[in-house]
Structure 1
């Protein structure tokens, strides 16, 4: 099953309105944090985190955050490669990444875990014209350790040409468990990661219930 059933691999912008109608009509948000994107065939070109459903969820959340922050209306567009959030003055591009890969545990003695949930997907800056390599590949260089990745994004924030702060990025993507009050918190063991995925997923779920209801 897929909530975005009218699939066309190329006509994403044309399909966005239809997909949004499907999301509004079909999704029972009270259990959405447990929805496994992989098991339910929420695809993109190959990655669940880049799927139309994931992009539209984060498009709603980010555009709402920026609208409230800047007091000017933001909208979003999805396509096969990245999400665009924009208004008449600003235009931001986002790619998507899996924060924690259950196949790559930090401790070799730990077992893997399911990880294709909305609480484990996050937007990452794609306004990176000064950097030829995508952040997705840099994440792989870190053996997909999100603790290292979030520090890297912070250290190189000015290169991404985002006209908002790293702190705003953390807030809009709901990553305060990794960074708050100017301090990083390391989350490594499988149980803590699973708790984070559940907690963050439930926060996203609540936001979606409100945003899509009012859209």
Structure 2
């Protein structure tokens, strides 16, 4: 598989949905080349492998990937490596938890976006790691991004390239997603925190391109539907 930090290849709406070289889970069936459809929360998504067999649409957590050539406007191929879709908790519920349990301690400009810096304050006065919550432009300008937040195991500071573990949480209407970054070693590629705004947009575009909820009747009739 290509380096997950590589720039995205050119958009090709005629490319196969599922190809060789994707991060398939060993032992699970694959659906090359046209993919299959499964339900996550209220959405029908086109996938390359099934969800865990014990899950249901309302309680589904699954790895999510397909050919990045099928997504227009990606900034990199990273979104197809380490992305999880989750219907256990709504995105609204996830945001409410931060609002109710964390305290806003400041704001910070990272890359092309502004973030509120929230910290969990325990009853014993213990201060947790910060959660960076995207603050939309008040005028709704061109830099408006999908609702998202991120957290890291290490200190986030200029030039916003770090070694450690980070997660971007991105809301897709009623469900939410996690995009995982792991860079533990001194010689590993740093986590590109300064590009998290663009990567949050990549996550949204990836879900949007795979969302066939309104187009299911137009799909090929032989496309498998996975319970």
Same fold (TM > 0.5): no
| Structure (1 or 2) with the larger CA radius of gyration | 2
Higher strand share: 2
Give TM-score scaled by structure 1 length.
0.28
Give TM-score scaled by structure 2 length.
0.27
